[in-house]
Amino acid sequence: AQSVTQLDSHVSVSEGTPVLLRCNYSSSYSPSLFWYVQHPNKGLQLLLKYTSAATLVKGINGFEAEFKKSETSFHLTKPSAHMSDAAEYFCVVSGAGSYQLTFGKGTKLSVIP
Amino acid sequence: EPEVTQTPSHQVTQMGQEVILRCVPISNHLYFYWYRQILGQKVEFLVSFYNNEISEKSEIFDDQFSVERPDGSNFTLKIRSTKLEDSAMYFCASSSDRVTSTDTQYFGPGTRLTVL
């Protein structure tokens, strides 16, 4: 069984300041981990994915995430927030032998000008 | 860039009615999925589909639900007799022909289903 916990339902940052969205996972297998973003009235867009290669994963729009097995974490970061980053972010896990994605509850990111 | 499309964007129906939600996956993809998100809750897996068969389904996907690939481009989700609790955003996704669970699933914009 696998699960994902996003530790914050809402994060608010000022434009130009760093972003940290926290995610912890639980998986019986070596997991594949993803971050998806959803802008209002848009679909779920893949930001980045970890699939057991490098533990630091770079994604689109300056986002990156670090896989830490010892902490079972996969936090999403960005050095400098932009207004266009305001959206909902989902941490997602899939397990070996299954195509089923398991989603966290999402973190809504607000960016204050 | 190719994308998954879904129609309609919003569907309103009466309880007990049948609804069909439509999706056009990315053209060279062979794996197809449906997920749903009830307002305020997590996105939940419903079903995956490959080679004209269901490959996985969740407990949510009971006999009221069915999926079909009626032609070479569309992928549909049918709910036979809608209940109030079926009100949700339904997402379609597709992934490429590589047989690996790490392959990326690309999502459509969703269909918001409202059951009255």
Q: How far is B80 from chain A (nearest CA, A)?
A: 23
Which pLDDT score, from 0 to 100, does residue B82 have?
A: 96
Q: Does A59 contact chain B (CB < 8 Å)?
A: no
Mean pLDDT of A76-102: 90
Answer yes or no: do B109 and A43 touch at CB < 8 A.
yes
Residue of B41 and B82 predicted with greater confidence:
B82
CA distance A21 to A77: 6
Q: Which residues of B touch A34 (CB under 8 A)?
A: 104
Instruction: Report DSSP letters for B45-101, one per residue.
Output: EEEEEETTEEEEE-TT--TTEEEE--SSS-EEEEESS--GGG-EEEEEEEE-S---T
Mean pLDDT of A47-73: 91
Q: Closest partner residue to B105 among A101, A102, A105, by Cβ?
A: A101
Answer yes or no: do B45 and A34 touch at CB < 8 A.
no
Mean pLDDT of B21-49: 93
Q: What percent of chain A has pLDDT over 90?
A: 72
Q: Does B102 contact chain A (CB < 8 Å)?
A: yes
CA distances from B68 to B28, B76, B94 (A): 17, 5, 14
